[in-house]
Amino acid sequence: MRDDEVLIGSLVEDSWLPLESVAAACAVEPEWLILHIEEGLFPSAESVAGTWRFSHACLTRARRMRALERDFDAVPELAALVADLLEQIDELRARRPTGMG
């Protein structure tokens, strides 16, 4: 199974995923996510009653970071920086009025 084939389906914006599901969707071990959380690279991840949970935005960020680390041998901090920039681009595109090229 390829990395991009994991986690079939769609997420509702308000839904949360457990650590194991996000790790599986990114084809990484849960320890990869925990290490990145401890480094402060997932600022929006939440721990509720000792259980990590992730939003749809966190899942997208994790997938981007994993791809950058794997495909470009990027260090985690660089992958997080690029993920930040991509998130900002997504936000700007979402705010752009329709009909503008």
**Of the listed ranges 10-19, 47-56, 83-92, the one predicted with least confidence:** 10-19
Structural contact between residues 16 and 53, judged by C-beta atoms closer than 8 angstroms: yes
Q: Where are the domains of the chain?
A: 15-95
Q: 15-95, what's its fold?
A: Multidrug-efflux Transporter Regulator; Chain: A; Domain 2 (1.10.1660)
- The phi, psi pair for 72, rounded to 5°, reads -115, 5
CA distance 19 to 1: 20
Tell me the pLDDT tens digit for each residue of 70-79.
999 999 999 9
- In the sheet with 51-54, reading across from the earlier edge strand, the strands are 17-18, 51-54, 46-48
Q: pTM of the entire structure?
A: 0.80
CA distance 101 to 98: 8
- Res. 55 pLDDT band, cuts 50 70 90: very high
- Average pLDDT for 7-29: 79
